[in-house]
Amino acid sequence: MNGTTFKTCSCRDEASGKRLGKACPKLRRPGGGGERWSSTHGRWAYQLELPAHADGRRRNPLRRRGFATLEEVEAELEHARALLALDEDPHVQRKITELMLSMLKDAKTLPPVEEVRRKVRTHQDLNPTVTVAEWMQEFLRRKRKIDVTTRRSYEAHIRLYFTPYLGDIRLDRLRVSDVAGMFDAIEEFNDVIINAHASGDPEERAKVRYRRPVGPATMHRIRATLRHALNIAIRQDRLIDFNPAAVVELPDAERPKALVWTDERVAAWNRDLQDRLAVERRRRGARLSRATMINLYASVPRPSSVMVWTPSHTYAFLAQAAPHRLSALYRLIALRGLRRGEAVGLRWKDVDLTAGTAGVHWQITQLGWETVQGKPKTEASDRTIALDEDTVTALRMHRKRQATERLAAGEAWTDSGFVFTDEIGRPLHPQQVSDHFYQLAFQAGLPPVRLHDLRHGAASIMLAAGVDLKVVQETLGHVSSAFTRDTYTSVYPEVARAAAESTAALVNTAAGSARTTRLITLPTETSTSTS
């Protein structure tokens, strides 16, 4: 299985019209003895013999052409040889061959040698075509001895959540962020359900006729189903070696307490992250890819499922996001507390940059992977918010950038009217916003939070800045200030210390001016004699 390299071209014989291929005389330099290749004519190719089929039938050689240089063709040929040399077992070699051919057909590239070596060493299935949807159906088929209620629960989880949100993802490429994104989308769709039922519109209510909001306890059951199915894929079929559902953070069944990322908490979390990175480097014996590091970054446990950045963290994030084309969107979420769907659904006709206001009258949420445009979740959520000068400036710059993109797109531009769009004017998919957010937070070296946690941070920053609770409630679009106070606020350490110092200072001031005489005369003890 040494393989050979050669040059070929698309020239045709003038008489027969047949392609000459590697027999074209122009491929070799004149006077080169037939051994020197032309540097200007043709493209490089290689041919490699492959292991026979299980029944002994000879398999067609692997032929690949179209390489610009000899170095490129030799590099891929060596890559293919290395894959076939990973194991001498004919059965394993056939599996590797099938993997190579499948990857070349779908992705036009060979699989990484180290990834295949790891799968061979741990006896994993090398078939790359199993998707999450396909595996969930296989999982359900195997669960023959479960009761009717459990089966119905599994079927519902697969139909409503796993297939729509994760179904097209290859099982061996399922990430923690994919599973976390599914739960974010479920929370977003909760808003759609609540709004539809409250709207009184028969058509809107019909869309969610058999749906109700998913509570924290149900989310835990959904995760348990996915975790169980993936554990079977690990233990029985060795399709994967890591269960992303096992490390995804979910809010407790009771409302979780939001915690601030203090220096002590950041330091403790960072130690855990560095330990895991070190273990992973030793295990892989190579430099970790960016995707692997982000996966570890997202999977290290946090002090609470709801974490809040300090004002300095928020500043660092906004500085990192400043060059990004969606920087103004993240500023609205971080400082004005917009929900993700509200920020994506913001329209230019509702923004008055002269007055410094923005009307939150629309939102875009996810239904499966499909998006749904509609009104905000409650009447209180339909609101107008004030904008600070820096945010107004950011929106002006964003509008100029969008105008430039519109000119570049020409006739391909879609005049959707949304403030935040893709490069040709179409509304953004909410998940795109979350994906960019996690990447920016990682690049800024910040402790991890969910995108929705920026809303908690916005409320806490406003209160720490002395904004009245009623104003905070109306800015966030809550029905009651009690809900705002109990759910979306966290006390920053510096604010708590300032409050403690103010309290002590008040007492000390009073002590300095207090009278030294008694205000109340107490009776004195007297001794009495007995007769």
Give bridge partners of residue 359 from the DSSP assignment. Answer: 384
Q: How confident is the model at residue 333 (pLDDT cuts 50, 70, 90)?
A: very high
Q: What backbone torsions phi and psi does residue 67 show, to the nearest 5 degrees?
A: -85, 140
The mean pLDDT of the chain is 85
Q: Name the residue among 349, 388, 353, 371 with its Cα closest to residue 475.
A: 388
Q: For residue 166, what is the DSSP state?
A: I
Domain residue extents for the chain: 4-121, 132-254, 259-303, 307-493
Pairing mode, strands 370-374 and 363-367: antiparallel
Tell me how many degrees the CA angle 69-71-72 measures, rounded to the nearest 5.
70
- Kindly report the CATH number that applies to the domain delimited by 307-493: 1.10.443.10
Q: Are 371 and 340 in contact (CB under 8 A)?
A: no
DSSP letter at 417?
A: -
Nearest to 430 by CA among 336, 309, 526, 326: 326
CA distance 447 to 309: 8
Q: Which residues contact 187 (CB under 8 A, 6 or more apart)?
A: 214, 452
H helices of 216-262, where?
Answer: 216-235
E strands in 262-377: 307-308, 351-352, 357-360, 363-367, 370-374
| Better-predicted residue by pLDDT, 421 or 206 | 421
Distance spanning both ends of the chain, measured CA to CA: 126
Output the CA torsion sign for 438, 439, 444, 445: positive
Most confidently predicted of 298-312, 391-405, 512-526: 391-405
Q: pTM for this structure?
A: 0.55
**Which residue in this structure is represented by tokens 């690949």?**
64
pLDDT value of position 219: 93
Amino acid 484: pLDDT: 74
What does the alpha-carbon distance between residue 493 and residue 426 come to, in Å, rounded to a whole number? 42
Q: Is the pLDDT of residue 514 over 80?
A: no
Q: Residue 330 is which amino acid?
A: Y
Query: What kind and span of H or E run contains 83?
Result: helix 70-84
The whole-number pLDDT of residue 529 equals: 47
Q: What is the pLDDT of residue 523?
A: 61
Q: How far apart are CA 382 and CA 338, in angstroms?
A: 11
- CATH level 3 topology of 132-254: DNA polymerase; domain 1 (1.10.150)
Query: For residue 481, is pLDDT > 80?
Result: no
Report d(CA 292, CA 38) in Å as an integer: 43
